[in-house]
Structures are given as C-alpha cells and as structure tokens.
Chain A
Amino acid sequence: AQSVTQPDIHITVSEGASLELRCNYSYGATPYLFWYVQSPGQGLQLLLKYFSGDTLVQGIKGFEAEFKRSQSSFNLRKPSVHWSDAAEYFCAVTSGTYKYIFGTGTRLKVLA
C-alpha cells in the first residue's frame, strides 16, 4: 500500500541549531515528492519539490531536501533554524495522478 511516514511527531531544537525532519515513503511508481509547512490556523505552503534530476533540491526559507531512492527517503534539512520556523511540516508524495499521500506531520518547536 502507498504510504508516507514521518516518524517524528514532535521535534524541539534550539535557535541556530541544524534541523533534519525525516520522511519515508512507500510507493510503487516513480514518486514526485514535496515538503509543505503549515503555521497554526493557516493553509499549507510549498517549501520544495522533487520530480527528477539532482537529488538534492533547494527550497524557500533556506530549506533543502535530499531524495534517496535506495532508502525511500526524502528528508528535509536546514543548517540553522530560526524562531520563525516553528510550525508543522508535512511530507507528501504523488505518482503524477490526481492522488496525493500526506504524512501525519512533524511539529517543530524552536527554543530561544
């Protein structure tokens, strides 16, 4: 069955520290992969996407993600976290059809 797993429900980091959010997927076809960020009470904002080519993709707000086919992973990283990065982060996958599978999210807390 197709699925997306975000194993960390909550992550707490100090401001200025590095961040890695994990995403593992199970998908039969070649996946299109996304990371979204959601602030409380708001919609989802696209951070970055992977379709093909270079497996390290850059996104907005200083985020990057690396696609590792052998590990079925698409982890999100940021070298130095800012207090404004506190939010919930969702990984999503599609094969290009209408359907998208979303993870259950990772809530990030940033300590001053």
Chain B
Amino acid sequence: SQTIHQWPATLVQPVGSPLSLECTVEGTSNPNLYWYRQAAGRGLQLLFYSVGIGQISSEVPQNLSASRPQDRQFILSSKKLLLSDSGFYLCAWRRTSGTREQYFGPGTRLTVT
C-alpha cells in the first residue's frame, strides 16, 4: 500500500529565516506530487505541482519554491520567510493515469513569528 510522509509536523520560525519542508511517498512510482497551503476558514491553495523529477510548475508567484530531487520526494523551500507564510502545508500525490483522486499527507503547521 501507499503512504505519504511529511516532516516536520510543526515548525516555528522567525521572519527572514529559511524553510525546508519535506514530503516523501512510498509504495508507488512516478506519482504526480502537489504542495498546498491551507489557511483557516479557507480552502486549499495550490502552490506547486510536479509530474516528474526536476519538473515543477508554480501556481502562485511568491517567495516559496519547490524541488523534486527524487521520484518520490518533494521539497518546499524558502530563503526568507514572511509572516504571511504561516499556515498548514499539505503534500499530496496521485497516480499519473487511471483514477484521479489525490492522497494527502498529515501536514506541517508552520508559524512564522
């Protein structure tokens, strides 16, 4: 069976500090990978998605970036965090063909102080 991991689970960082959130998927190959941000009382905002190693598409221009160094690893980064980067970050994967459901990781709660 497939599983998806995210770490850290929670993170408190000062404004201007760097960020690295990691997501890994097990039990599948060549998944499509996604980073979302969820703000309280709002839906999910798509940040990045990837269809393969080194292939990243950005949905929202901002100070965040994403990388996919390995098939099942997806990293969200920032060089300098802003207060507005606080939120709940979710990684998700789906198969490249067939059914279209996404499967979500447990999330990372980021607080920028």
Chain A positions within 8 Å of B, measured between CB atoms, are 4, 9, 32, 34, 36, 41-46, 49, 51, 90, 92, 94, 96, 98-100, 102-105
Interface majority SS (helix, strand, loop, mixed), chain B = strand
Residue pairs across A and B with CB atoms within 8 Å: the count is 49
Determine whether B52 belongs to the interface, using a CB cutoff of 8 Å to chain A: no
B65 to chain A, nearest CB (A): 18
A44: chain B residues at CB < 8 Å are: 90, 92, 104
Contact between B101 and A34 (Cβ–Cβ < 8 Å)? Answer: yes
26 A-B pairs with CB atoms under 8 Å apart are A4-B43, A9-B41, A32-B100, A41-B109, A42-B107, A43-B6, A43-B106, A43-B107, A44-B90, A46-B102, A49-B99, A49-B101, A51-B99, A51-B100, A90-B43, A92-B102, A94-B100, A98-B32, A98-B49, A98-B51, A100-B102, A102-B43, A102-B44, A104-B41, A104-B42, A105-B41
Q: Nearest 9 pairs between A and B by C-beta? A: A43-B104, A102-B43, A44-B104, A102-B44, A104-B43, A32-B100, A43-B106, A43-B107, A49-B101
* Nearest opposing residue in chain A for B88, CB measure: A41
A74 to chain B, nearest CB (A): 14
B109: chain A residues at CB < 8 Å are: 41
A31 to chain B, nearest CB (A): 10
A100: chain B residues at CB < 8 Å are: 44, 46, 102
A94: chain B residues at CB < 8 Å are: 100
B107: chain A residues at CB < 8 Å are: 41-43
B43: chain A residues at CB < 8 Å are: 4, 90, 102-105
Q: Which of B40-98 contact A (CB under 8 A)?
A: 41-44, 46, 49, 51, 57, 90, 92
